[in-house]
Amino acid sequence: MMAIVGRIEALVEALGALARGCVLLLVLLVSFDVLMRYLFDFSLVALQELEWYLISPIALLGIAYTLKHRQDVRVDFLYEKFAVKTRAAVDLFSGIATAAIGFYIAHLAYKYTLQSYNMGEGSPDPGGLPYRFLIKAFLPLGFALFGLQGLADSLRALCTLLQPTRPQEARP
């Protein structure tokens, strides 16, 4: 099971690196746009749209990446007092819930993205970017990745629950 967890988390890590790259690109793009607008009174609609297009991979790929690195919001003052097996049971429940929610939203978002693709949706603004469905594709991808991280967390917790209890692990 841990081999599956490792593969899922390698994928989450790789796509998290893509999200980090998008953050850098967004900062550079906004800086360039501001300089061009205020120094040369020049701005392109496509560049402005690209700025908010970059938020999609940052947020949607960043969700699973954040969960993998345990930077999500938790009630740690209770959790840290639990025994190892109790923590694993909590992690198993939350991992299953995360996977179910992530995969369900990915399923709904896939239909939404497919609808955008079928109608050839692009920007309604003159000079805007075409192929809006490419950005919308981050919805099912991001939530599927979130579901996969939930699955990885569930498998890790299950491995912990299935291990024999050591005396020093009985209490934190």
Query: Is 152 within 8 Å of 101 (Cβ atoms)?
Result: no
Look-up: residue for tokens 């075409």? 130
Question: Which segments of the chain have a pLDDT < 70?
Answer: 166-172
Name every residue whose Cβ is closer than 8 Å to that of residue 110 and which is 6 or more positions away in sequence: 140
The structure's pTM equals 0.86
Please state, in angstroms and rounded to a whole number, the distance separating the CA atoms of residues 18 and 142. 12
Going from the C-alpha of 122 to that of each of 45, 46, 128, 130, 138, the distances in angstroms are 13, 11, 8, 4, 16
Q: What pLDDT is recorded for position 79?
A: 85
Which of 104, 94, 89, 92 is CA-nearest to residue 140? Answer: 104
Q: Give the dihedral sign, CA 27/32/38/43.
A: negative
Q: What pLDDT is recorded for position 53?
A: 92
pLDDT digits 0-9 by tens, 43-62 = 888 888 999 899 999 999 99
Radius of gyration of the chain (CA): 21
